[in-house]
């Protein structure tokens, strides 16, 4: 078992105070609002000086040994992922997971679908996402933008983006309330933005592919290289799904589970890349189901003690561990609940 060490990643928005507090540091927002807790994919930050290994999750064993998730995958993928997974998918774990803590509304953006990414980008993955809402900051309302509630169509969206008509852009969306414990799906191609004050676990296909159509937000400017993946506006427009959906329709399709839901949150009904389940813990040891592959375990709400093969790991609240496929029975004991993410 491997304890996940922090991998704070630079992004084009402010946040991270709740992640700082979790680490026992003075709370404050900055330009590293995300912690990539299960990533073998480097972060892409066009326009910023490169940082070696940014985005690659560091790990620490109970005996003090350190490595990265990417290095484990390269050294012994079968031990980490399992023989069945490797025979089907090779060394691709199928997902990337991060903690995201927003202090502001993010810029409006969209991610390509898998079909689009394969046809137009030469990538095996698009970027379907799932959100598990962990907390909302005091005083914040807690909401997201998701899909067009009033679609301008491709031609109208082209004009809005080209002119940076932010009033018209805002008029395309309604805030969709979210609350701690909910799970949401963000399909590829859907415009979306996370509102201020939301802390979430974000699990996605393992890529950093994004087009951003809002260039300035709260004084933060997205550099030209970070807008359309180095391509032009017409390419950006091709990424979007222009279907119009009201809030009730979005909730019916994309709100997968409510607060307190145990069991499967995301599974093959939604994607074949990853699965998420929640195990309720009440002080007694609970067996973590085996699925024959790697698992990422996140303590949701309180401390959790994991035990397997004579080893124990203590996870603080929002602490995470990577559990290799090659291990014995795993149990969890603690308060709150345990989120388990695994390849699909």
Does 23 score more than 80 pLDDT?
no
Does 282 score more than 90 pLDDT?
no
81-103 pLDDT, tens digit each:
999 999 888 888 889 999 999 99
* Cβ-Cβ contacts under 8 Å for 180 (sequence gap 6 or more): 133, 134, 135, 136, 259
Helices (H) and strands (E) in the chain, counts: 9, 26
pLDDT of 158 reads 98
DSSP helix, strand, coil percent of the chain (3-state; round to 5): 20, 30, 50
Reading the block at residue 30, the tokens are 């900055």
Which helix (H) or strand (E) is 219 found in, with range? none
Closest to 102 in 3D by CA, of 6, 25, 196: 196
pLDDT of 46 reads 83
Closest to 169 in 3D by CA, of 198, 139, 148, 195: 148
Does 339 score more than 80 pLDDT?
yes
Confidence category of residue 44, pLDDT binned at 50, 70, 90: confident
Q: In angstroms, how far apart are the furthest CA atoms of the chain?
A: 62
55-81 pLDDT, tens digit each:
999 999 988 899 999 999 999 999 999
What is the mean predicted confidence (pLDDT) over 333-339?
93
Q: Identify any residues that bridge with 66 across adjacent strands, giving them in sequence order.
A: 60
Whether 57 and 4 have beta carbons less than 8 Å apart is answered as yes
Does 312 score more than 80 pLDDT?
yes
User: 105 by DSSP, 3-state: which?
Assistant: coil
Whether 226 and 136 have beta carbons less than 8 Å apart is answered as no
What domains sit in the chain, N to C, each tagged with a CATH number?
2-257 (2.60.120.10), 263-343 (2.60.120.10)
pLDDT of 253 reads 96
Whole-structure pTM value = 0.94
pLDDT of 88 reads 87
pLDDT of 344 reads 83
Greater confidence (324 vs 335) lies with: 324
169-179 pLDDT, tens digit each:
999 999 999 99
* Cβ-Cβ contacts under 8 Å for 86 (sequence gap 6 or more): 77, 78
Which helix (H) or strand (E) is 49 found in, with range? none
- Mean model confidence pLDDT for the chain: 94
* Cβ-Cβ contacts under 8 Å for 303 (sequence gap 6 or more): 314, 315, 316, 317, 334, 335
């Amino acid at each position: 078992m491997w304890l996940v060490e922090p991998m704070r990643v630079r992004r084009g928005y402010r946040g991270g105070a709740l992640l700082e507090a979790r680490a026992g540091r003075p709370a404050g927002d900055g330009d590293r609002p995300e912690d990539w807790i299960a990533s073998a994919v480097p972060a892409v930050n066009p326009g910023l000086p490169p940082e070696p290994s940014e985005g690659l999750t560091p790990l620490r064993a109970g005996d003090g040994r350190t490595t990265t998730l990417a290095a484990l995958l390269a050294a012994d993928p079968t031990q980490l992922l399992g023989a069945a997974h490797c025979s089907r998918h090779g060394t691709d774990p199928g997902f990337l997971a991060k903690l995201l803590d927003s202090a502001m509304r993010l810029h409006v953006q969209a991610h390509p679908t898998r079909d689009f990414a394969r046809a137009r980008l030469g990538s095996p993955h698009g970027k379907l996402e799932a959100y598990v809402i962990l907390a909302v900051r005091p005083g914040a309302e807690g909401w997201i933008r998701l899909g067009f509630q009033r679609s301008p169509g491709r031609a109208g969206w082209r004009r809005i983006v080209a002119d940076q008509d932010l009033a018209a852009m805002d008029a395309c969306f309604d805030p969709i309330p979210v609350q701690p414990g909910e799970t949401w799906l963000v399909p590829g191609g859907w415009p979306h933005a996370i509102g201020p004050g939301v802390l979430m676990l974000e699990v996605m296909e393992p890529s950093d592919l994004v087009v951003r159509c809002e260039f300035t937000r709260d004084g933060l400017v997205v550099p030209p290289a970070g807008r359309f993946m180095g391509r032009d506006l017409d390419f950006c427009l091709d990424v979007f799904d222009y279907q119009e959906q009201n809030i009730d329709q979005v909730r019916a399709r994309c709100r997968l589970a409510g607060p307190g839901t145990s069991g499967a949150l995301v599974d093959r009904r939604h994607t074949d890349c990853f699965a998420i389940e929640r195990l309720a813990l009440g002080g007694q040891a609970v067996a973590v189901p085996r699925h024959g592959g790697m698992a990422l375990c996140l303590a949701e709400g309180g401390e959790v003690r994991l035990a397997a093969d004579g080893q124990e790991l203590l996870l603080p609240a929002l602490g995470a561990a990577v559990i290799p496929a090659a291990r014995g029975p795993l149990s969890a004991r603690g308060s709150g609940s345990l989120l388990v993410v695994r390849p699909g």
